[in-house]
Structure 1
């Protein structure tokens, strides 16, 4: 049963299996295990970024396609929901139309980019996607009448998904039974289903052909596979899932702006998560996104506490200052790449083989 749900992709490592189960339990019961606005917000972001990173891994890890336009697809889904809620009101129909519309637009744009660009060498395709993504980001910033420009858009989502809606008066384990809880479980459920869908895709015949193309595209083409068609299909599917992740992000935040969904910083974060977790594994998206989002949210606070603990000692308080958290995040990334060149998931699975 479990093997069927996971499309036959078992962890193949006891440590990895334990980590995945722990992450699943923590995310499934996050509002009850870690009560508090910040912790629940962190859990929701982890869910969304797992889907976003998994969709990028379909392109990079399985298809060997290097793209810098993934935040553009992510942003299309987010702005789709924002615009739909702004013009259609705060109903669930607006969320559905915005999500589907954003995903469809992302797939069409990915199709056009892929059709005209995937025939060139990988580095040129990467540069083309970077140029298109930059152009879209500038366009969104300048169309302030529609997109809100640099200020972004604030909008209302259905009342049933906001703290104002209460479906029970009593608290359960100290947690209020309100729309914010429903909103979190909407994010969690959709993220889980999308991740399982991605697992199914990469372990289907389509996914196996992608792996063959990644390993040797000339050989794959010589035995009859249309390499460009498969790469375009993978790009479109990856873009659509990324847009759906963006739609979930917009539903959770109730705000969309260029900095939250279209910036190059988000693209760099996605790349780091893929590398840390392990390319071409899917489970790497779970591990990478969880570790990175936790570091983003809590490393600065931990460093501040450590700096206070060693106050009075030479040099250490300055090195551990909370203002230098990005420096230490970079150090942690370098160490992870050095000790886990195939990512954490790849290293754990290699350890199982030995």
Structure 2
């Protein structure tokens, strides 16, 4: 298994270096970055790497465009939220919630796949968008169970909260408490899920998916049933997104439409895939890192620039922190212009051109 995973690593030394820096930074985040905000950013990044990679498994490897990916993300999060809020915040309850969430996501994914994947790509995208919209309405209507528009705040197992202390003394200046355990639970599960997806795309099944992406008519001609393989990819992608939703629910201790079902999250996922590079799960790491950091720290960076150019009115106004969304859009346009294949695709292609 590990040999096949090593074989999938990009050949670009620059890319390998970037990936190594990101992984090591996430591994040591509690010890090298100060403050709860940095830890929260690292945890969200781990979760979004899984979420974006699961979407790339569908889009980048089968060419299927879906706007319902946040639906499965939400199923995972709401399953945990409802279980903890209405039953009890225990690990046994969490396990049952995860099994139920995976079951529901599998049924929904199979239904969408078998019914919708026979139509043209644009119609499939429209169907998935409609399904995601229906899910958002249902969450709002079933407020007795879901909290409606306000969402749900709930307790999680005490061992995963700051109130739980594993050690009385700090280690390297860091409190060894439940929040730290929660973070490393998120990091460990995210790592395992990502490596599992890498293993899947390196398997014969993954090679068939690539064949379908390149030329589905030829794949059909040599005996592969397109709709079945794409439905299987949809189910795997959905289950991975569901598990990412479970992790988000455990970390945030809050679940609401804006945190897991928002169209903005779906747009962010698409941006991360495009920036990182479609058809390369490692692109999910790069894309998610850039966009998560930009969303969390671009505003502050612009504040520093604004103060630096305070004596130059035009530049000071241009770097006004309130315009951070404008600069985020500019960043995206620049990335697409200079990296049309994504960062991973550009680096890999550049190495091939010089190799």
TM-score, length-normalised on structure 1? 0.98
Spell out, residue by residue over 1:103-147, the C-alpha distance to the aligned partner (whole angstroms, 9 max, x if none): 221111011011111000000000000000000101101111110
Spell out, residue by residue over 1:233-279, the C-alpha distance to the aligned partner (whole angstroms, 9 max, x if none): 00011001000000000000000000000010000000000000000
Residue 190 in 1 paired to residue 192 in 2? no
Show the counterpart of 1:146: 145
Residue 8 in 1 paired to residue 7 in 2? yes
CA distance in 1, matches of 2:243, 2:315: 44
Spell out, residue by residue over 1:286-337, the C-alpha distance to the aligned partner (whole angstroms, 9 max, x if none): 0000111000000001101110110021311111011000000000000000
Structure 1 counterpart SS, 2:7: coil
Show the counterpart of 1:214: 213
CA distance in 2, matches of 1:155, 1:98: 14
Displacement of 1:35 in angstroms is 2.4
CA distance in 2, matches of 1:35, 1:94: 33
CA distance in 2, matches of 1:316, 1:229: 55
CA distance in 1, matches of 2:137, 2:54: 24
CA distance in 1, matches of 2:286, 2:267: 17
Structure 2 counterpart SS, 1:39: helix
RMSD: 1.0
Spell out, residue by residue over 1:188-235, the C-alpha distance to the aligned partner (whole angstroms, 9 max, x if none): 000000000000111111110011001111111011000000000000
Show the counterpart of 2:21: 22
Residue 56 in 1 paired to residue 55 in 2? yes
Aligned residues: 353
Structure 1 counterpart SS, 2:171: coil
Alignment of 1:242-321 (within 5 A): 242-321=241-320
Spell out, residue by residue over 1:139-178, the C-alpha distance to the aligned partner (whole angstroms, 9 max, x if none): 1011111100001011111000000000101101111010
CA distance in 1, matches of 2:192, 2:237: 15
CA distance in 2, matches of 1:325, 1:3: 43
CA distance in 2, matches of 1:219, 1:7: 30
C-alpha contact (below 8 Å) 1:58/1:280 kept by paired residues: yes
CA distance in 2, matches of 1:278, 1:69: 20
TM-score, length-normalised on structure 2? 0.98
C-alpha contact (below 8 Å) 1:16/1:348 kept by paired residues: yes
Displacement of 1:3 in angstroms is 3.7
C-alpha contact (below 8 Å) 1:3/1:10 kept by paired residues: no
Displacement of 1:62 in angstroms is 0.1
Q: CA, structure 1 residues 2+20, in 2 after alignment: closer, same or farther (shift >3 Å)? A: farther
Show the counterpart of 1:131: 130
CA distance in 2, matches of 1:317, 1:337: 27
Displacement of 1:2 in angstroms is 5.8
Instruction: For structure 1, list consecutive stretches of 5 or more residues without a partner in the other structure.
Output: none
Displacement of 1:7 in angstroms is 5.1
CA distance in 1, matches of 2:31, 2:125: 43
Show the counterpart of 1:340: 339
C-alpha contact (below 8 Å) 1:166/1:179 kept by paired residues: yes
Residue 173 in 1 paired to residue 172 in 2? yes
Show the counterpart of 2:116: 117
Instruction: For structure 2, list consecutive stretches of 5 or more residues without a partner in the other structure.
Output: none
Structure 2 counterpart SS, 1:60: helix
Structure 1 counterpart SS, 2:279: coil
C-alpha contact (below 8 Å) 1:60/1:279 kept by paired residues: yes
CA distance in 1, matches of 2:100, 2:348: 39
